């Protein structure tokens, strides 16, 4: 168990070192951490399938932290659509609303969710049942307000979730501990 924690800490150190290097290369890099648990509810998200109409999603509200210092900077709403079983995992479209006093930033990515193969528990003691990830080179920003109006850029998600209480009914929670690296153009 201790070895797993050491590996996770090592990977996070490398990851955060890479993010620091990205900040000096160009663009504005934001590293945010979605943490917490929220009950599932339905919401419409901007068009996914190209028909011009908003699409349904299941959403969860959690705290948004600055990954550098752990301070809460706002809230986030993570919305999941087009959920498809792929083997033991899931493929889905994730639309995430980052709500800060300086404005709202909306991102989207094609996301993979897979069960863990070894026991994982976060530093706060949260059991993790699945790991999740998304990344790409295309613009992943759907829109924004205030400071984030007209923003473009790429988004990378590396996350952990506890889906042990998630059975697909409204009101059921998922616990999140997900890092987002957003590189604004």
Q: Which secondary-structure segment (H or E) carries 28?
A: strand 28-39
pTM of the model: 0.84
* pLDDT by residue, tens only, the chain of 185 residues: 444 433 333 344 434 444 443 333 346 999 999 999 989 999 999 999 999 999 999 999 999 999 999 999 999 999 999 999 999 999 999 999 999 999 999 999 999 999 999 999 988 899 999 999 999 999 999 999 999 999 999 999 999 999 888 777 788 889 999 999 999 99
Taking the C-alpha atoms of residue 163 and residue 76, their distance in angstroms, rounded to an integer, is 18
Q: Is 24 helix (H, G, I), strand (E, B) or coil?
A: helix
What does the alpha-carbon distance between residue 63 and residue 45 come to, in Å, rounded to a whole number? 20
């Amino acid at each position: 168990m201790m070895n797993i924690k050491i590996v996770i800490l090592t990977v996070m150190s490398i990851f955060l070192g890479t993010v620091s290097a990205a900040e000096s290369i160009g663009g504005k890099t934001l590293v945010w951490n979605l943490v917490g648990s929220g009950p599932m509810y339905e919401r419409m998200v901007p068009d996914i399938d190209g028909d011009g109409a908003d699409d349904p999603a299941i959403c969860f509200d959690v705290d948004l932290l600055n990954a550098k210092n752990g301070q809460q900077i706002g809230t986030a709403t993570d919305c999941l659509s087009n959920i498809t079983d792929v083997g033991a995992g899931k493929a889905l479209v994730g639309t995430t609303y980052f709500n800060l006093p300086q404005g709202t930033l909306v991102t989207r990515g094609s996301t993979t969710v897979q069960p863990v193969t070894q026991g994982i528990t976060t530093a706060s003691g949260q059991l993790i049942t699945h790991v999740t990830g998304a990344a790409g080179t295309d613009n992943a920003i759907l829109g924004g307000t205030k400071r984030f109006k007209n923003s473009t850029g790429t988004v990378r998600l590396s996350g952990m979730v506890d889906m042990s209480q998630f059975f697909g009914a409204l009101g059921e929670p998922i616990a999140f501990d997900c890092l987002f690296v957003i590189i604004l153009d």
